[in-house]
A = this chain, B = another copy of it.
Amino acid sequence: MPWNNLSRRKRQVLEGAFWSHGSSRQGLATSLGFSRSKANGLVSELVEQGLIEESGHRPSTGGRRPEALRLHRDLGLVAGVDLGATSLDIALLKPDMSVVGRHAEAADVREGPAVVLSRVRACLKELMRQHRAEGRLLAIGMGVPGPVNFGIGQLVAPPLMPGWDSFSIRDYMRDIAPAPCYVDNDVNLMALGVLWRQRRQHRNFLVVKVGTGIGCGVICNGELYRGQTGSAGDIGHICVDENGPQCTCGSRGCVEAMAAAPAIARMGTEAATSGESPFLADWLSRNGTLTAEAVGAASRAGDAAADRIIARAGGLIGQMLASVVNFFNPSHVFIGGGVASLGPLFFAAIRQRVHQRSPALSIRHLEIASLPFVGDTGLIGAGVLAVREALRDGEVYP
């Protein structure tokens, strides 16, 4: 690492510059609790060492044009890997999180770590070759669709990923590149991506992903919170109906079993076959199967049954979120994932239920909104993880 023999304070300045990307020396000094002269001195040395650079893009508030500080573009590159249940996205990023190159392809995590990670390896090597990144890779950040024991970089009993339990992705990836690999849950990385893009402006918020499953990334006091054993934000199995249907986890009435994409598709199929929704019946006969997207399309076409399904799913998710909001009192709940594209009706149902079920104080300033910066937030989050952990670790690689 280029920052290997730096003092603790200089590392703090580097991390401060990374998070605030574009702040002034004064801003950096304030956020780090350093005196202005101390911060000035440290920044000057880091600029001289080629670790921080100044650019003049920050708008002035009068007087001398303030410089905008960031990690130096030539420090090296990081790789962000976003592994979904059915997709693989890889990006090479500069230290300012701008994308140098990227690659996307279909993947199936059920094929197991050997198959999937050899694709990750091949694609990453090819990307590095194309962009002449060999020898410049600082670290790899990877998001996976399951619970991760972050300290050891292993998945723990991931329901969507049979064969990956206790597999050490981190150790496997050591072979690919002489750079440390950090692995985390995909929703945690979405939360980290939002935190970075907002320059840590919001300090207590949730990023909820509603797709095949339901998960949540928790930002607490401006930091990603993983919980005692790495399962914080595991909200998919919160019960919303004691007598609800059985979930894959063995319990009854989990919100994931009743309101995630498969449940919405199931309700849509019922509406199609019962004759309640001509639109969905038509869709089903043409396609042989129904998805949550089809229910969204039906709703947009004015189908009342689809509207009811969406309102029901949103209401159940809102009921679960009300418990979480009562407990955690966040400023924002950002909702992403495929199901979030069902639109305003879905969000209205969520908001209504949360407001119904939460004391005045905890929702006084609460915003429930769709995920900002949708594109690449997972990949950016993976890049942020790579930079942040590498800066803190200072792990030495040959």
Chain A contacts to B: CB under 8 angstroms: 8, 33, 147, 156-157, 203-204, 216, 218, 220-221, 223, 225-235, 237-239, 249, 251, 319-320, 322-324, 326-331, 356-362, 364-366
Copies of this chain in its oligomeric complex: 2
Known: A220-B220, A327-B238, A327-B324. A231 touches B359 (CB 8 A): yes
Inter-chain CA distance A326–B229, complex, in Å, is 11
Q: Which residues of B contact A235 (CB under 8 A)?
A: 326-327
Partner pick for A227 among B147, B239, B320, B362, CB 8 A cutoff: B362
Which chain B residues border A223 with CB–CB below 8 Å?
Answer: 221
Q: Are A239 and B328 in contact (CB-based, < 8 A)?
A: no
Contact B357 A228 (CB under 8 A): no
Q: Chain B contacts of A249 at CB under 8 A?
A: 359
Contact check, B329 vs A239: say whether CB atoms are below 8 A apart. no
What residues on B are CB-neighbors of A359 within 8 Å? 147, 231, 234, 237, 249
A55 to chain B, nearest CB (A): 30
CB neighbours (8 Å) of A231 from chain B are: 329, 359, 361-362
A55 to B231, CA, bound (A): 41
Given A203-B228, A227-B329, A229-B361, output 16 extra A-B contacts at Cβ < 8 Å.
A8-B33, A216-B327, A220-B221, A221-B221, A227-B362, A228-B330, A228-B331, A228-B366, A232-B327, A233-B327, A233-B329, A237-B358, A238-B322, A238-B326, A327-B327, A327-B328
Q: How far is the CA of A331 from the CA of B33 in the complex (A)?
A: 31
